[in-house]
Amino acid sequence: MTRKIIIDTDPGQDDAIAILLALGSPEEVDLLGITCVAGNVPLDLTTRNARVTCELANRPDIKVFAGCDRPMGRDLVTAEHVHGRTGLDGYDLPEPKMPLQEQHGVDFIIETLQREPSGTVTLCTLGPLTNIATALQKAPDIAGRIQEVILMGGAYFEVGNITPAAEFNIFVDPEAAATLFTSGIPLTVLPLDTTHKALATPPRVAAFQQLGTHVGAVVAGWLGFFERFDMEKYGSDGAPLHDPTVLAYLLRPDLFTGRHVNVEIETTSPLTRGMTVADWWGVTDRDRNAMFIGDIDADGFYALQTERIARL
């Protein structure tokens, strides 16, 4: 069955690979649009990078929207130290020719959810949650119409990557995350606990190169760039690959295991801002609001990506 989705994103190499995974899976995924948000790099670059990625996949017909250019109540924090100056460093690609849609990304999310039959649209979020939370604030009626939000963000056992206590996407806009986690919408969370088990090891990167396609070479180039930072940081033999886990979960939930638990977002403490406090051990009676994924079949995940990206 085809799932209708909106990808909300801040590309980033790993976001871009997630978009390619969606575009390589037309039988399962009907991509209604891509809404961009400020995150890894400012909004003008995330909107550029989303379009570069669509054109790389020869899909200039995909609708790409600009959403919010800063978090709901804070200054933007970016991650050029991980993703490079453009956010998509690692392979030189042409500037995009396809247009950016005129409508604001938040309005596209609202209009789409109000137009499509209730419970038929899934939001796949790969960046700070500003666009989704702003849409919920502007049109609270959409909450009950969302099939599911599948998001990359947070951590419990792995704790944090941008600070010792927080994962980047939640840290950048914790108020937006808190809005979503208290919304009652069905949530599936792909945290660092999962993505840190999905390492882009040299043989897995080589598999993209060995596809012998342009897209495969670009993906290998991106991963090579992304890796140099994380391998140094973690001392592992490959960098964690985060955002494609969201699409992989949509396509192959059997590759993942997790627990339905309570997750709360820290918004006030300067020390632990953006921490995702997950009641993994069930030690409170707080309502379970999220499927928190803890494990992944990493070989299956990489096999799925190479298979789908080979089609592009």
CA distances from 135 to 31, 67, 150, 175 (A): 19, 10, 16, 13
| Minimum gap (Å) between residue 120 Cβ and ligand BDR | 25
Contact positions vs Ca ion (CB under 5 A): 10, 12, 15, 126-127, 243
Q: Which one, 81 or 97, has the nearer CB to Ca ion?
A: 81
Catalytic residue from among 81, 104, 214, 242: 242
205, 224 contact by CB (below 8 A)? yes
Partner from Ca ion, ligand BDR, none binding residue 266, C-beta < 5-8 Å depending on class: none
Bridge partners of 296, per DSSP, are 256
Q: Which one, 15 or 227, has the nearer CB to ligand BDR?
A: 15
Q: Which one, 8 or 145, has the nearer CB to ligand BDR?
A: 8
Tell me the C-alpha distance between 272 and 278, whole Å. Answer: 14
Partner from ligand BDR, Ca ion, none binding residue 161, C-beta < 5-8 Å depending on class: ligand BDR
Q: Which one, 168 or 208, has the nearer CB to ligand BDR?
A: 168
| Minimum gap (Å) between residue 269 Cβ and Ca ion | 24
Per DSSP, the three-state class of 124 is strand
Q: Which one, 145 or 168, has the nearer CB to ligand BDR?
A: 168
Partner from ligand BDR, Ca ion, none binding residue 79, C-beta < 5-8 Å depending on class: ligand BDR
| Minimum gap (Å) between residue 249 Cβ and Ca ion | 15
CA distances from 242 to 64, 230, 257 (A): 21, 12, 16
Partner from ligand BDR, Ca ion, none binding residue 264, C-beta < 5-8 Å depending on class: none
64, 101 contact by CB (below 8 A)? yes
Q: What residue has token string 């042409």?
A: 94
Tell me the C-alpha distance between 308 and 312, whole Å. Answer: 7
**Token reading at 253:** 């939930």
- Alpha helices by DSSP H, 139-273: 168-172, 174-181, 192-195, 202-209, 214-234, 244-251
Tell me the C-alpha distance between 195 and 152, whole Å. Answer: 9
| Minimum gap (Å) between residue 167 Cβ and ligand BDR | 5
Tell me the C-alpha distance between 170 and 187, whole Å. Answer: 14
Q: Which one, 129 or 142, has the nearer CB to ligand BDR?
A: 129
HSE at residue 244, side-chain half, CA atoms within 13 A, is 33
**Token reading at 206:** 């080589």
| Minimum gap (Å) between residue 141 Cβ and ligand BDR | 28
Would you call 242 a catalytic residue per the annotation? yes
Contact positions vs ligand BDR (CB under 6 A): 12, 14-15, 40, 79, 82, 126-127, 152, 161, 167-169, 242-243
241, 21 contact by CB (below 8 A)? no
| Minimum gap (Å) between residue 285 Cβ and ligand BDR | 30
Partner from Ca ion, ligand BDR, none binding residue 219, C-beta < 5-8 Å depending on class: none
Active-site residues: which are they? 242
